[in-house]
Structure 1
Amino acid sequence: MNLSLYSVNAFLILDTEGARVLAKYYRPKGHPQGESKQFQTLKEQKAFEKGLWQKTKKAGGDIILYDGHLAVYKHSLDLIIYFIAGPSENELMLSTALNNFVDALTLLMRNQIEKRGVLENLDLVLLCLDETIDDGIIVDTDPAAISSRVSRPRPDTTEIIINEQTIMSAYQTVKEKMAQRIGQL
């Protein structure tokens, strides 16, 4: 049995009809378990996803062994979120990582983990995923830390709030300056 840090082979989000919303497959180069011939083509990926969805669309559990892969999944309103790993990986670690990833998404998306919200905030979802998994390796399982790194504003940006009062103030300043200049002529 080869032990490794490569814990996740794929990340999937499927909708209630089994259609792909988001998928990211990890295949580390040079890793013996990562050199699998499966998932190399889009056709193979879609066939795997369809079969996996058929097995998990109504299942009550959150862990399944399907087609030689361990699938840990969580149902949301109209989505199913999956972490796919090799059969010898630690189910508890995968389940913890998935639950905390979903918790971080819940914080970032203000409790709206649904298909439309995921598609509209795809950047947040992918950043959150990248903070949780790096090239198939689970790197963080703290939802508060993950969400804070994703939502942190860049230090070189400043927020400028423009509202009606700001515009009126600018107009008033320009009006006063013009009156001064006209008075000087």
Structure 2
Amino acid sequence: MDSTSPEPSLYTVKAVFILDNDGNRLLSKYYDPELYPSMKEQKTFEKNVFNKTHKADNEIAFLEGMTIVYKSSIDLFFYVVGSAQENELMLMSVLNCLFDSLSHILRVILESDPQQVLQKVNYRADENPLTEQSVAQVLQSAKEQIKWSILK
């Protein structure tokens, strides 16, 4: 094997994070424990990524030896990080899945008509009449239905 080839790794996606319009962390998950082991290092990296990408119209960036694909929506920035050798299309498919899944979930949450919410989460009123359930049971059932509809 060539000494310049990268070491094989199971960490295709090194990190996923969502930042607000000011570059503050809303959500992050680092899958490679060696990438940025401390919270301070992670936040510094995220700030550097945000500063490089928040005004750009591109979908890909290279920073600190990492391939970063990103997408913005109104005031949120979604990022998926991989190694420099990682296939950008693979990273972009992860980003699109994350972005589309959250968009679908938030559309259900923003619905104001309860019948529409029940319909969107495939609630079966004939199996469990609403009058015989507590609010907590209805919410738990709706949550489970949303989870299953996402996994389909």
Report SS of the residue matched to 1:162.
Answer: helix
1:4 CA displacement: 4.3
Q: Which runs of 4+ in 1 moved over 4 A?
A: none
Cα distance in 2 for residues equivalent to 1:12 and 1:78: 14
Cα distance in 1 for residues equivalent to 2:67 and 2:101: 23
Alignment of 1:21 with 2:22, yes or no, is no
> Could you say which residue in structure 1 is the equivalent of 2:69?
72
> Could you say which residue in structure 2 is the equivalent of 1:179?
none
Q: TM-score, normalised by structure 2?
A: 0.66
Alignment of 1:85 with 2:90, yes or no, is no
1:101 CA displacement: 2.1
1:93-132 alpha-carbon deviations (Å, 9 max, x no partner): 11122112211222222188xxxx8xxxxxxxxxxxxxxx
> Could you say which residue in structure 2 is the equivalent of 1:138?
none
In our comparison, the structure showing a higher alpha carbon Rg is: 1
Aligned mate of 1:109, from 91, 106, 110: 106
> Could you say which residue in structure 1 is the equivalent of 2:131?
162
Cα distance in 1 for residues equivalent to 2:91 and 2:62: 13
- Consecutive unaligned residues of structure 1, counting only runs of 5 or more, are 28-33, 118-150, 164-185
Cα distance in 2 for residues equivalent to 1:68 and 1:16: 25
1:43 CA displacement: 0.7
Higher RCO, Cα 8 Å, sep 6+: 1
Alignment of 1:47 with 2:49, yes or no, is no
Cα distance in 2 for residues equivalent to 1:105 and 1:20: 16
Tell whether the 8 Å contact from 2:15 to 2:30 is kept in structure 1 after alignment. yes
> Percent of counterpart pairs with the same letter?
39
Letter of the 2:72 counterpart: H
Q: TM-score, normalised by structure 1?
A: 0.55
> Could you say which residue in structure 2 is the equivalent of 1:148?
none
Q: How many residues were matched structurally?
A: 114
Letter of the 2:56 counterpart: A
From the superposition, tell whether residues 90 and 17 of structure 1 become closer, same or farther in structure 2 (CA, over 3 Å): same
> Could you say which residue in structure 1 is the equivalent of 2:11?
6
Report SS of the residue matched to 2:71.
Answer: strand
Cα distance in 1 for residues equivalent to 2:78 and 2:22: 13
CA RMSD of aligned residues (A): 2.5
